[in-house]
Chain A
Amino acid sequence: MSDMQSQDYVRRSATTMTPPKARSHEDQVAKLIDVSRCIGCKACQSACMEWNNLRPEIGHFEGSYENPMDLGPSVWTLMKFAEYENEQGNLEWLIRKDGCMHCEDPGCLKACPAPGAIVQYANGIVDFISDKCIGCGYCVKGCPFDIPRISKTDHKSYKCTLCSDRVAVGLEPACVKACPTGAIMFGSKTDMTNWAGERIEDLKSRGFAKAGLYDPPEVGGTHVMYVLHHADKPSLYSGLPDKPRISPVVELWKGIIKPLAVIGIAMAAVGAFFHWTTIGPNEVTEADEAEADRVLREKEEEST
């Protein structure tokens, strides 16, 4: 959302040069969402709207606690409610705060064609720099978590910024501040991982043998992590991907074809130029004209 010069880029979309790295020895940050402590009050959802001045259109009741039903250009985080019947036949209400995961290897950034429209700061936050966004929707195809949403009014892509503006001045994200149960924590990635370890131990002692941390290595880890009671089955939590990865189709498109095609087209043009300079043009000679003339005369004589 914002272009904060106080935070250095380590990655920048559609850029062939590496951003300067000299000042990027920053602590990696992470937001830890402890699903087992969430009561689904949506304080975080409101806080996000409040801090970021987002006012999604008022919708309709769809028969679910989920409201609205999907993320949107003005809905950057959304509580998702899933009812799960466990092996004992008991109902478990799995409530997950959905939003951008701030991937260490962000697929959105890889797919984006506009230079600098998506950046990653040295602290790991992935941010959309809206004034550079061209509204193509490639980030939607690049993201393994189905997060970015393109606005129909200004044709820009939006998602959670991890409150990069707050973090830059040493504040915690708005959703973290608002959470009444401490289910959302924010700090350095190491601290958050350690804290998650304690929570997981506690959950295991209370019978959740498969409790664990969701920090998927397929995308290099994420800067938003979950503590899950059923870490072996993330998809129980309203379709959290079990093995999120940047689609091989996107990798093929952006990784191999992109450079090869430009080289291929350039080679074709260069090849054509050298054909011209070595073999040269194919010209019609006087002899051709004379020959054609002779044929035409013959035909004319035939027909008269």
Chain B
Amino acid sequence: MTRPANAITRYTTLNRVNHWINAGLFILLVLSGLSMFHPILFFLSGLFGGGQWARAAHPWFGVLLVISWIGMIIQFWRANLPSKDDIAWSKEIVHVITNDDEHVPPIGRNNSGQKLVFWSMTLLIPVLFVTGLLIWEVYFGEATSIPVQRAAVLIHSLAAICAILVWVVHVYAAIWIRDSVRSMTQGYVTPGWAWHHHRKWFYQLAASRRVSKTTPRKNP
């Protein structure tokens, strides 16, 4: 689909490239990690060439994800700072979930759900990284005592489960709110989309004349 003349850029090329590197690594981590978590999912290790390979690759995916996530933090922390609107929006969460948008207060560039996804991951990824290092048998197997490793593996699995749940919410929300996926694949949304879902953001853009009805913007 070609980009309409009045499209609003929601995610820059850098935003999108970073996001999809992140997404790819996260999926690799989930698949290899789950294969070592529950026997009914051990078959997933076959995707990596067997258990030994899944075990060997998993921590390296993790290291790359940390680097990629730092990029995400740099690009998105500002848009995810909490604001007064979050409280009002969260109170109407039932209306949000039931698509009853009449009763959902207007919000800025990101809603509280999106902010929650961002900050949960920003908290969970470092926890996963540190506990992951402690149980990285090849390099850190002898670095800490066995009781420390036991605690680390427990925290690592709990944090991973939380991260997967957050990720399920994130993926489903992207499917549920139509055309969100396009904003992350092609970078733009329509004015109607911005008006419908992020009205305050839309007004900001309109006020600063960063979006115009008549002159089409160049694809960034």
Contact = CB atoms under 8 A, between A and B. Distances in A.
Q: Decide whether A and B are members of one complex.
A: yes
Interface of A: 14-16, 113-115, 132, 134-138, 140-141, 146, 150, 152, 155, 247, 249-250, 252-253, 257-259, 261-262, 264-265, 268-269, 272, 275-276, 279-286, 288-293, 295-297, 299-300, 303
Contact of A284 (B37, B153, B154, B190): B190
Q: Which 10 A-B pairs have the closest CB atoms?
A: A289-B192, A134-B51, A137-B137, A292-B191, A288-B192, A292-B195, A272-B172, A14-B39, A249-B150, A296-B213
A136 B36 contact: yes
A249 B213 contact: no
Given A114-B42, A296-B212, A299-B206, A284 B193 contact: yes
Given A134-B36, A135-B137, A268-B168, A155 B52 contact: yes
A61 to B, nearest CB: 21
Given A249-B154, A299-B206, A137 B168 contact: no
A261 B34 CA distance: 10
Interface residues of B, number: 61
B79 interface: no
Contact of B196 (A15, A16, A141, A284): A284
A239 to B, nearest CB: 12
Nearest to A250: B150
B140 to A, nearest CB: 10
Interface string B195-219: 1110000110011010111100000
A164 to B, nearest CB: 22
Contacts of A283: 178
Contacts of A134: 36, 45, 50-52, 54-55
B176 A262 contact: no
A113 to B, nearest CB: 4
Interface of B: 6, 35-42, 45, 50-52, 54-56, 97-99, 101, 135, 137-138, 141, 146-147, 149-151, 153-154, 157-158, 161, 164-165, 168-169, 172, 175-179, 190-197, 202-203, 206-207, 209, 211-214
Contact of A146 (B41, B146, B165): B146
A293 B192 CA distance: 8
Contact of B175 (A247, A261, A276): A276
Contacts of B42: 14, 113-115
A281 B175 CA distance: 8
Contacts of A252: 154
Contacts of A275: 97, 172, 176
B135 A291 contact: no
Contacts of B179: 284
A140 B145 CA distance: 11
A133 B45 CA distance: 13
Nearest to B177: A282
Contacts of A14: 39, 42
Given A261-B37, A296-B6, A296-B213, 10 more contacts: A134-B52, A141-B150, A155-B56, A249-B154, A257-B154, A261-B157, A262-B38, A291-B195, A292-B190, A300-B212
Given A264-B161, A281-B176, A253 B55 contact: no
13 contacts: A134-B52, A136-B137, A137-B149, A155-B55, A247-B147, A253-B154, A253-B157, A257-B157, A272-B176, A280-B99, A284-B197, A292-B191, A299-B207
